[in-house]
């Protein structure tokens, strides 16, 4: 999970939004300073949002429930292949040629079946995870757009894509609050 999140964050989420000028309410509502008021620019820290988003924890739980049995089955299959390999390695020197060949063929089939099962599991797992993350990022984007339009921001950048940003233009906390609020609404 961390690898995918790192890749997503590393790509730098850039939101370029155009809205009408005039941002007198920005500093009052968001606590943004003169820089944001004058320029209509803000930043969000996607890493922090991902750390705090309750939707991420819900996705982890859902993925655990959905894939735990399949994961356990794969672990058992791996253990079975390992035992078969160890047995073959132990006995191959004293086996008849035909039995050795038969056992090697069976072992190769077990390995192939394991590989195919692992590939299928990864495909299903990453597909489900990506679908869930896409929905979460849609929610984040919608919240950022809503805040930007409401407070006449012209540009919202991912903090990871910016070398320096003053704290007074960071709207991460407001985005996280809205995400938590939206989670509470769906639970009710």
The range of the structural domain enclosing residue 81 comes to 2-187
Count up the domains in the chain and report the number.
1
The whole-number pLDDT of residue 45 equals 93
The whole-number pLDDT of residue 8 equals 34
The whole-number pLDDT of residue 27 equals 38
Task: Tell which residue, 74, 76, 91, 85, has the closest CA to residue 107.
Answer: 85
**Mean pLDDT across the chain:** 81
What is the average per-residue pLDDT within 132-161?
92
CATH of the domain at 88: 3.30.910.20
* Euclidean distance between the first and the last CA atom of the chain, given in angstroms as a whole number: 28
What global pTM score does this model have?
Answer: 0.67
**Predicted confidence (pLDDT) per residue in 33-62, tens digit:** 555 556 789 999 999 999 999 999 999 999
168 secondary structure, DSSP code = G
Task: Tell me how far apart the alpha carbons of residues 98 and 105 are, in angstroms, rounded to a whole number.
Answer: 11
SS3 151: coil
**Predicted confidence (pLDDT) per residue in 60-115, tens digit:** 999 999 999 999 999 999 999 999 999 999 998 998 999 999 999 999 999 999 99
Task: Extract the runs of DSSP E, i.e. beta strands, from the chain.
Answer: 14-16, 41-44, 155-158
Task: Tell which residue, 152, 177, 162, has the closest CA to residue 24.
Answer: 152
**Predicted confidence (pLDDT) per residue in 4-32, tens digit:** 333 333 333 322 222 233 333 333 444 44
Residue 151: which pLDDT band, with cuts at 50, 70 and 90? confident
Task: Tell me how far apart the alpha carbons of residues 184 and 188 are, in angstroms, rounded to a whole number.
Answer: 6
């Amino acid at each position: 999970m961390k690898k995918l999140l790192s890749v997503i964050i590393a790509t730098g989420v850039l939101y370029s939004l155009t809205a009408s000028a005039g941002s007198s309410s920005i500093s009052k509502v968001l606590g943004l300073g003169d820089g944001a008021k004058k320029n209509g620019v803000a930043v969000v820290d996607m890493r922090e949002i991902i750390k705090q988003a309750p939707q991420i924890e819900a996705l982890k739980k859902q993925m655990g429930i959905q894939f735990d049995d399949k994961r356990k089955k794969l672990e058992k299959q791996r253990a079975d292949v390992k035992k078969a390999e160890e047995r073959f390695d132990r006995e191959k020197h004293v086996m008849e040629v035909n039995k050795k060949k038969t056992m090697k063929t069976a072992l190769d089939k077990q390995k192939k079946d394991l590989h195919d099962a692992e590939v299928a599991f990864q495909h299903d797992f990453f597909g489900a995870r990506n679908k869930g993350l896409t929905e979460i990022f849609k929610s984040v984007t919608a919240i950022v757009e809503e805040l930007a339009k409401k407070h006449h921001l012209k540009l919202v950048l991912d903090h990871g894509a910016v070398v320096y940003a003053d704290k007074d233009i960071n709207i991460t906390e407001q985005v996280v609050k809205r995400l938590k609020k939206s989670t509470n609404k769906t639970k009710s």
